[in-house]
Structure 1
């Protein structure tokens, strides 16, 4: 009798994560997160942990949950503190194709908002020479005095010869430059001063015109305010009710002083 051959076939095992531990926190629903807070691509399925706000991979297919992770960066003192969101169950209740299509539409819309115009940097102007920078601070008379003082104190720069030292040549060039640009600079300065004077005169005239428009109502308001205060003080000094509290001599003197001041002020405003 021939023995029956038993064929052994591999049974399909239930896929699960390496650890059976489950976090005490409630399961995270993917639909409750924002589209940019999770990634459902099969190669890198992950989401932002609601507890520590870091990207954490999702392990498991039948019972997906967050892998164990820590709250701090590796190498720091508190790096060994495990996040309470480790082993937290995840409910994937989002259509992957719809999420991918929505993400692609958002990327296309963002790319459309970005301008592809190349904004070039403005070309920097060449720096002025040292002589040009100094000439804006020194006028022609000052430059000539500097040359004369240098000639008197320098043994190489004699008045009757053409020999000059390096400093003497620079000062002579400065004097020549300031003499050449002096008239134009004085003209520009006079024009600027004239423009400032005309601007101040225009602002003063505008202020006077604006004040002429409102000076009448403002004066009437000031006069009415002084009269109201004066009437109130006179009423306090001479109350209409016989049972009103009597004022002391000091209070009456203060009221009389205030009434005198307001009367003088009313006379000044009425002129």
Structure 2
């Protein structure tokens, strides 16, 4: 076979940018950009392209002529994309990467250590209720009237005519009027509640009695059968089947007879 008929296969080459093209735009200095528009971290040195305002990596940042990698202005996957004029633009890294990294670390630490400017509101102090307000649920109309009369006698502001009152006197007067107005309805509601509670208890008692009546016969039969079985078991030692069976002593026989008498009385009571 001749050498011309051999199939030639291209060797796989390492993919890298080999273009010598240089953008017509002037070289871009990193120091001319704002601090948030470039990233000098060694893992991925990149910056914001001034032409399309997108983040673009820098090709060979350690070489003599670092350039922006070729990129498009449209999102990836767009048909007929247009290449950005900032592609292959020369970049001048005129900043010390180690110094930039140190300043970035110090800035992050300083930002994390700042105090929050959130305003913490003080809790509002609750108003302490007056003594009459605390005792209002515990007093009836007669007790409120006695408190009002005692206050009127000892207070210089509250006049006997009742036209002028102090703060406590006004509260007591309102409490007396309120109790007189609402006490009959409260008593009626309490009476109705007590009657409903009594009817509920009577209904539960009647229901319990009906339930017990429905099962009383079966319970009585079970009790009679249980007592009968115990009675048969106690009569067995008194009349042994075998002649050589052990005999009960006088005291044991007396105990068994007493228990038999009690069981017989119980069975008779259950059968009534």
TM range (shorter): 0.3 to 0.5
Query: Based on CA coordinates, which of the two structures has the bigger radius of gyration?
Result: 2
TM-score (norm 2): 0.47
**TM-score, normalising length from structure 1?**
0.47
